[in-house]
Amino acid sequence: MRKSKFQEVTMISKKADIILNIFMLLLALACIYPLLLVFGISITDEKTVTLEGYKLIPQVVSFKAYEYVFTDAVDIFRAYGVTIFVTIVGSITSLSVISLYAYPLSRKDFRYRKHFTLLVFFTMLFNAGLVPWYMVYTNVLHIKDTIFAMILPGLMTPLYVLIMRTFYSTTIPESIIEAAKVDGASEFKIFTSIILPLSKPSLATIGLFNVLYYWNDWYAPLLFITDEKLYNLQYLLYRINQSITYLTSQSNSLGNVSELLANIPSQTARMAMAIVAIGPIVLAYPFFQKYFVEGLTVGSIK
């Protein structure tokens, strides 16, 4: 008996679903494999890595790399605290500033909308350079060796302002705002009670980008922080990596003179640092996943 057109389309759809599922499974494995490989190397003996190379399953299990990284555990946990504080405060503050700046730009009845939009575009295309930027933060704002030196540089991102503006203008109907005005709601009340609840996908997406920026930032501490108590996690791990590189070079130049230098877990310690740094941020991603895909398509469908 000849199959109907509906049955043929259904069979093709099932085959396409199977192919797509297999493809996505392979893509997921390709993304997870490097992370598992890094973890496997981090718990491998340094000599085994040197002789056998990188392997997913360690032949000789050793936690010396983590012991080396956590030699000064107090400094690591203090850096964790600084990073968590900077990430939370910086992300929330940045998200507030960006959403407040973008909202007037999306309103057609805002008289100076073009002027403020031009400021956003101008800062995306031109910048004064590193030296004036550094002088403003140190000589004008006087925030060197303060926690604010790691928060202010990422406070306003022009691209995120444009994303938020696009979301406001393409997703939120003007009739809702007009109805709220008729009911006597103020602009601030409209923004907090109507606009923000409807903007969760965009807020979650930009919030995730802010979290990633503040968590992985090591450049601001490199420029502005000299007090060891204010080192964040990434910069502390950067300094540990620099120390490993220096000690390894000394070991190579001295030959077998120093057994202590020769036994430094250089490669495995670097992998251990990557695991230490990436762990919490990976656990934070599922909280944003609900809105992440929808937020990435901001403005694509009206």
CA distances 56 to 15, 31, 59, 61, 67, Å, are 33, 14, 9, 12, 21
Give percent above pLDDT 70 in the chain.
82
As a whole number, mean pLDDT of residues 215-223 equals: 90
**Which of 145, 143, 107 is closest to 228 using CA atoms?**
145
What's the distance, CA 27 to chain centroid?
A: 21
Could you read off the pLDDT of 44-73 as tens digits, one per residue?
888 888 788 888 888 888 888 888 888 878
Note whether 277 and 233 are within 8 A (CB). Answer: yes
Q: What is the mean pLDDT of the chain?
A: 82
pTM flag (> 0.95) = no
More confident residue, 293 or 106: 106
Any domain includes 76: yes
Any domain includes 208: yes
Any domain includes 114: yes
Given this model, what pLDDT does residue 302 score?
Answer: 42
Could you read off the pLDDT of 74-96 as tens digits, one per residue?
888 899 899 999 999 999 999 99
Any domain includes 30: no
Nearest-5° Cα angle at 159, 154 to 164? 100
Given this model, what pLDDT does residue 257 score?
Answer: 45
Neighbour tally for 94: CB within 10 Å: 24
**Which of 74, 299, 261, 56 is closest to 170 using CA atoms?**
299
Provide the domain count of the chain: 1
Residue range(s) defining the domain that contains residue 87: 72-296
CATH number at residue 132: 1.10.3720.10
Any domain includes 66: no
For residue 270, pLDDT beyond 80: yes
Given this model, what pLDDT does residue 90 score?
Answer: 93
For residue 162, pLDDT beyond 80: yes
**Which of 164, 147, 162 is closest to 96 using CA atoms?**
164
Q: How confident is the model at residue 274 (pLDDT cuts 50, 70, 90)?
A: confident
Given this model, what pLDDT does residue 75 score?
Answer: 85
